[in-house]
A and B are shown apart, each in its own frame.
Chain A
Amino acid sequence: MSDTRRNVLVRGSTLLGSLALAGCTDLSNKPWVQNALGEVENLTRVAQRLFAGGHSLAPEYSKADVARMFRANGTLNPGTNDYAMHLANDFKDWVIPVGGLVEKPLKLSLVDLRRMPPRTQITRHDCVEGWSCIGEWTGAPLAPILAMARPKPEARYVMFYCADPMGNGALDAGGHIIPPPYYYESLDLLEATHPQTILAYDLNGKPLPVENGAPIRVRAERQLGYKMPKYVQKIDLVDSFTRIGGGKGGYWEDQGYQWYGGI
């Protein structure tokens, strides 16, 4: 093959390659493509609910399977003055209000939660990134708490608001500080009343370490890790989350992750 012809071929294939690459980027960035792909989340949710519409239990493991160090991901310490004060005070004044669309709003201290019939489960934590880690969680099941608060008929989702700010915020064009969003998440009532959905206060028999969400984190064992918020500060029942935060039902959902975290 002559040199020029080879050059043409090489250049041609490089060009084709970059076109394909650019095509993928462009296609991926088109709103209609993302919307179409996002629709599939509904299909996946409906299909999984067809099988797991009840309260099928996530597999539980034995003590021998528990990881020596439970992997901590995301926020490792909320780092706010408020949180530091609570930490120094052993979270004695940490009170979680349960409100929104309920007949009887509650205020739950850690003592209240520890007084409720506990549930201990050794379960596998599946991170959206792909890794898994097994830990023993103890906490107060959410279903009886919701039953006490008596959700109104129009309540559809349970919102969890957390104490950890995500990032350092930003400056807008006028130089004003835009505060960072705080982590938040939501579960629908089916997942929230699942027997393995608990407000966990112990990990491996000891109070939750800070990096794992002290003093309270949600465990929802049929979901991925990002659906189980740490540092839970407030619980609200709502009929829709479209006007909360970025409108997608959670911090990571607002960054493009699926609201349905069962897969």
Chain B
Amino acid sequence: MADVTQGNAETEPSWWDGLMDTLRERLGLAPRERKPQYIFYRHPVPVRLLHWLNAIIMLVMLMSGLQIFNAHPMLYWGNAADFDHPFISLTAEGTQEHFWGVTKIGPWTFNTDGWLGASGTNGVQTVRGFPEWATLPPESPNLALGRLWHFAFAWLLVTNALAYFGYILFARRYKELVPTGDDIRHLPHEIVTHAKLQFPKGEAARHYNGLQRLTYFVVLFVLGPLIVLTGLTMSPTIDSVFPFLVWVFGGRQSARTIHFLVAFSFVGFFIVHMLALFLSAPINGLRSMITGWFAIEKDAP
């Protein structure tokens, strides 16, 4: 493979494509039509390593965060909790013997039994905000252990994020992530084509498209700092040193609510991230984040 990083080298079908072709043949499926393609080195080692570390860290942060949330599964706005009027609450209704989980958002109440408010712990119906498969540790309440996991991995999260930011700054890769004026202007068009599941092909797929740049920018440079800062704002000691944090977020309970909403924005991002992967080119995309190599179909001459 000569100078593939320049992206000009033609490639034979990769070992993976060969394997897939063989599989299709064995399964009696029609052979896949393949345009000539070349592969280029999309994701260098630090990006891939930090990406997968981040995936594990975020999962632990989310699950231990839900365990912590279960200690008081209600959200408020402002500095103090208005216990009678939470903005969101996951609670149980019924009697001591027979109860079911309900979720309240503003004036609306939903029956979310088995999922939110009340669900099984080791097979026994329990009052708990999030269910056992979603929390770390699974049993609830275990606020003490949830906090240990959360704060330990918070250090890893921040270290990992700083390493990543340092790398993209050093390697000047941030240019791929900062949206341009054109990106913003073309946003409606991009949203429509993405909604129709028409993903960029050929040379256009070599670079992130506008919607990708905007998404990654918001996730990395808005949601990322936001979740760290709102997390820190919940600490009374931090508040004594940086009281403006409390002010910026509109109070400690607001910071907690924003922390929660941002966490679920990350969940939303993850779902879209997975949909985009599986609906566009799952093998190619996944491979590029594991081996670094991304295949580009050559545009018709």
Measured CB to CB, the residues of A under 8 A from B are 17, 21, 24-25, 28-29, 34, 36-38, 40-41, 43-44, 48, 51-52, 56-59, 61, 65, 67, 71, 124, 126-134, 221-224, 252, 255-258, 262-263
Contacts and interface: CB of A to CB of B under 8 A. Distances in A.
6 contacts: A130-B69, A131-B72, A131-B253, A132-B252, A262-B235, A262-B236
Contact of B240 (A17, A127, A222): A222
Contacts of B239: 58-59, 222
Contacts of B132: 21
B236 A126 contact: yes
Interface string B172-209: 00000000000000000000000000000000000000
B83 interface: yes
B72 A52 contact: no
Query: Which residue, of B132, B136, B138, B236, has the highest number of chain A Cβ atoms within 10 A?
Result: B236
A131 B240 contact: no
A56 to B, nearest CB: 4
Interface residues of B, number: 41
Contacts of A256: 144-145, 148
A24 B235 CA distance: 27
A224 B236 contact: yes
A263 B252 contact: no
Contacts of A131: 72, 74, 76, 81, 83, 253
A40 B138 contact: no
Given A38-B148, A40-B151, A40-B152, A130 B240 contact: no
Nearest to A196: B240
B227 interface: no
Contact of A124 (B138, B151, B252, B256): B252
Given A71-B83, A126-B252, A131-B83, A221 B152 contact: no
Nearest to A223: B236
Given A37-B149, A132-B79, A255-B144, A43 B155 contact: yes
Given A21-B133, A132-B80, A28 B237 contact: no
Given A36-B152, A131-B253, A258-B151, 15 more contacts: A21-B133, A24-B136, A52-B237, A52-B241, A71-B81, A126-B234, A130-B256, A131-B72, A132-B80, A133-B80, A134-B80, A222-B236, A257-B143, A258-B147, A262-B236
A209 B69 CA distance: 29
B139 interface: yes
Nearest to B60: A24
Contacts, number: 126
B246 interface: yes
A28 B148 CA distance: 10
Nearest to A191: B237
B210 interface: no
A133 B81 contact: yes
B243 interface: yes
A41 B143 contact: no
Contacts of A48: 235, 237-238
Nearest to A20: B133
Contact of B155 (A21, A40, A262): A40
Interface of B: 63, 68-69, 71-72, 74, 76, 79-81, 83, 132-133, 136-139, 142-145, 147-149, 151-152, 155, 234-243, 246, 252-253, 256
Nearest to A255: B144
A222 B239 CA distance: 8
B80 A263 contact: no
B136 A263 contact: no
B25 to A, nearest CB: 20
B236 A221 contact: yes
User: Which of B133, B142, B238 has most A Cβ within 10 Å?
Assistant: B238
Contact of B79 (A52, A61, A127, A255): A61
Nearest to B147: A258
B137 A263 contact: no
Contacts of B143: 128-129, 257
Given A21-B132, A132-B80, A263 B237 contact: yes
Nearest to A71: B83
A263 B238 contact: yes
A41 B148 CA distance: 8
B253 to A, nearest CB: 6
Contacts of B155: 40, 43-44
Contacts of B235: 48, 262-263
Given A34-B148, A59-B239, A221-B236, A21 B252 contact: no
Nearest to B244: A59
A37 B133 CA distance: 21
Given A37-B152, A65-B80, A25 B139 contact: yes
A66 to B, nearest CB: 9
Nearest to A17: B133
A59 B246 CA distance: 9
Nearest to A70: B80
A258 B68 CA distance: 14
Q: What 6 A-B pairs have minimum CB-CB distances, sorted nearest first?
A: A262-B237, A256-B144, A28-B137, A37-B148, A263-B235, A130-B72
